[in-house]
Amino acid sequence: MRLILIGPPGVGKGTQAQHLQELLGIPHVSTGDLLRSAVQEGSPVGREAKGYMESGRLVPDDLIARLLAERLDRRDAAQGFLLDGFPRTVAQVEALDRLLAARGSTIDLVIALSAPEVEIVRRLSGRRVCPKCGAVYHLDNLPPASSGVCDACGTPLVQRSDDTETVIRERLRVYGEETLPVTEVYRERNVLAVVDGSDNAAVVASRLTEIVKGS
């Protein structure tokens, strides 16, 4: 199954992607994660993307499309994948169409998660991540057992540099302007399911299970 998970930053895409990945046995392909790895490695792509990411802007379409094409050509994505964070612009929808057409496939389902802005800002500003193993925590909802330290590997937790309030507001503005039109494209193609992501993660996960099983 080829699936897209779409929604504003902080709506819970990462958590639900993990659930769907386990449910469907397909790889979770997050363009944000691919970019963060490139930045951490200091690769040419990473050096170009860094400034955009730190200010909450989108990196250029051609750069992200190249990174994604490489990832989708890996063997584990041959039978399906779950895309998270892409496409974020209508131009990226077209790039994805071309990329899939060249490989003889199409998108089966697009799930859009939604939540009110106040809830999103609350979730993102309290988010803390482990820079070593990628585990995600929340100061109120999901604190680590020992304050400030990853339960899994003991590494000190950090706040993503784009999870500060000013950058969060910018990311939400960009989402409204650039990414909401993407959901309309998929609505017109009759592959869109909209899901309320403001409930707790287990409730949202069971809604997603029903939708995926019924599709």
Is residue 88 involved in binding ligand AMP (CB under 6 A)? yes
Does 50 participate in catalysis according to the annotation? no
Output 27 or 56, the one with its CB closest to ligand AMP. Answer: 56
Between CA 41 and CA 58 the distance in angstroms is: 20
Residues 94 and 102: their CA atoms lie apart, in Å, by 12
The crossing angle, in degrees rounded to 10, of helices 117-125 and 165-174 is 140
Check residue 179 for interaction with ligand AMP (CB under 6 A). no
Instruction: Write out the H or E segment, with its range, that includes residue 22.
Output: helix 13-24
Rounded Cα distance, 17 and 70, in Å: 20
C-alpha–C-alpha distance, residues 70 and 55, integer Å: 26
Active site residue 171: yes
CB-wise, 154 or 176, nearer to ligand AMP? 176
Whether 127 is catalytic: yes
* 2 among known catalytic residues: no
Identify which range of 69-77, 83-91, 129-137, 198-206 contacts ligand AMP by CB under 6 A.
83-91
Given 13, 36, 71, 123, the catalytic residue: 13
Phi-psi region of 80 (alpha: psi -120 to 50; beta: other; left: phi over 0): left
- 32 near ligand AMP, judged by CB under 6 A: yes
- Annotated catalytic, 88? yes
Q: Is the Cβ of residue 82 or residue 162 nearer to ligand AMP in the bound state?
A: 162
Whole-number Å distance between alpha carbons of 202 and 215: 20
Minimum separation from the CB atom of position 10 to ligand AMP (A): 8
- Residue 135 within binding range of ligand AMP, rule CB under 6 A: no
**Is residue 31 close enough to count as binding ligand AMP by CB under 6 A?**
yes
Phi and psi (nearest 5°) for 115?
A: -160, 150
Q: How far is the CB of 151 from ligand AMP (least distance, A)?
A: 22
- Return the closest-CA partner of residue 112 out of 194, 176, 19, 175: 194
The residue within the footprint of ligand AMP, chosen from 35, 120, 195, 208 (CB under 6 A), is: 35
Q: Does 53 bind ligand AMP (CB under 6 A)?
A: yes
CA distances from 125 to 42, 73, 100, 162 (A): 26, 35, 36, 9
> Does 99 help bind ligand AMP (rule: CB under 6 A)?
no
Which residue numbers are catalytic? 13, 88, 127, 160, 171
Given the rule CB under 6 A, which residues bind ligand AMP?
Answer: 9, 31-32, 35, 52-53, 56-59, 64, 85-86, 88, 92, 162, 171
